[in-house]
């Protein structure tokens, strides 16, 4: 059928686009964006990527400093880490004057601005959950790191899908008739990895207190979502064509021996 070559060409274009979007979102430091409102007496801006967090403030002349994110020492205290940050914003929005040190410590999830109820360490967290020292507690960091790994794995399957589409396009009739299964399978796994990654980030965005009012999902999340949405569309088209039987190239018949 003449539909095969155009379809595989589109599949190749989608695979390349999805690969590019996945890679861009993997490297992006702007999955979640926070910025204080213009009415705030202090200008603060934070962006969260899968592997980095970048901050800037009016104190530093809006110069951006980035660090590895998340880190066990600073970011893995559960939602209690976010409560310390939340109280910083509450005090700022109330018009209280905070020193630069108070804000920086609070943004890191420390207890300098939080009082006695703000910081709950990992040991205390385990005790409250009835966990022992050797038991696992699924935390914010576990979700975030898993999202990063899923995004990295997605890149591998996207690259494999590009290679498969090229082989099918440049191959013969038999490859074109059966190649849709391989391309659809690779793109399906790619989409599944991206869905896992974006779902974990959205879950933490909605449930973790560190993402206070003013935080929004940003470019990295959008790029990843667009990538898996494109995958779903082209996989649906490939499966439909394969199941209906449009992959048979009836214009050519094998010569009987």
Give residue limits of the domains in the chain: 4-244
- Mean pLDDT for each consecutive 10-residue tract of the chain (257 residues)? 80 96 94 81 85 84 85 69 55 57 54 38 43 53 94 97 92 77 95 97 89 86 97 94 66 52
Check if the beta carbon of residue 212 is closer than 8 Å to that of residue 170.
Answer: no
Phi/psi of residue 33, nearest 5 degrees: -120, 135
User: For the chain, how many helices (H) and strands (E)?
Assistant: 8, 5
User: Using CA atoms, how far apart are residues 173 and 169, in angstroms rounded to an integer?
Assistant: 10
Residue 177 and residue 248 in contact, taking contact as beta carbons nearer than 8 Å: yes
d(CA 207, CA 22): 25
Q: Which residue has the tokens 């394969």?
A: 242
Q: Which residues pair with 183 in a beta bridge?
A: none
What is the maximum alpha-carbon separation in the chain?
91
CA distance 104 to 39: 20
User: Quick one: which H or E segment has residue 169?
Assistant: helix 140-170
Nearest to 128 by CA among 84, 85, 75, 80: 80
Strand partners, 103: none
- Whole-prediction pTM: 0.74
Q: Is the four-CA dihedral 33, 34, 35, 37 of positive or negative sign?
A: positive
Provide, for the chain, the percentages of residues in helix, strand and coil under a 3-state DSSP scheme, each rounded to the nearest 5. Answer: 60, 10, 30
Whole-angstrom distance, CA of residue 30 vs CA of residue 197: 14
Torsion of CA 4, 7, 12, 16, to 10 degrees: 180
User: Which pLDDT value is given to residue 126?
Assistant: 43
Q: What is the CATH number of domain 4-244?
A: 1.20.140.150
* pLDDT score for 19: 97
State residue 64's pLDDT score.
Answer: 85
Q: For residue 155, what pLDDT is reported? A: 96
What is the distance between the alpha carbons of residues 41 and 145, in angstroms, rounded to a whole number?
34
The rounded distance, in Å, linking the Cα atoms of 188 and 220 is 20
> How far is it, in rounded angstroms, from Cα 98 to Cα 42?
9
């Amino acid at each position: 059928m003449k539909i095969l070559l155009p379809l595989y060409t589109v599949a190749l274009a989608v695979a390349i686009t999805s690969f590019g979007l996945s890679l861009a979102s993997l490297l992006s430091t702007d999955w979640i964006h926070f910025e204080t409102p213009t009415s705030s007496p202090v200008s603060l801006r934070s962006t969260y990527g899968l592997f980095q967090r970048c901050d800037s403030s009016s104190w530093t002349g809006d110069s951006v400093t980035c660090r590895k994110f998340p880190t066990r020492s600073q970011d893995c205290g559960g939602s209690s880490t976010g409560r310390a940050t939340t109280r910083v914003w509450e005090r700022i929005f109330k018009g209280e004057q905070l020193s630069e040190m108070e804000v920086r410590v609070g943004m890191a999830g420390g207890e300098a601005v939080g009082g006695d109820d703000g910081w709950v360490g990992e040991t205390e967290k385990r005790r409250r959950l009835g966990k022992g020292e050797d038991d696992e507690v699924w935390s914010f960091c576990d979700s975030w790191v898993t999202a990063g790994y899923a995004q990295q794995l997605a890149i591998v399957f996207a690259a494999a899908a590009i290679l498969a589409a090229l082989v099918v396009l440049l191959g013969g009739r038999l490859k074109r008739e059966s190649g849709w299964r391989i391309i659809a399978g690779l793109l399906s796994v790619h989409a599944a990895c991206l869905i896992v990654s974006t779902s974990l980030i959205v879950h933490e965005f909605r449930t973790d207190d560190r993402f206070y009012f003013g935080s929004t999902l940003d470019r990295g999340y959008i790029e990843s979502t667009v990538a898996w949405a494109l995958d779903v569309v082209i996989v649906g088209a490939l499966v439909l064509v394969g199941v209906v039987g449009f992959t048979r190239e009836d214009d050519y018949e094998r010569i009987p021996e």
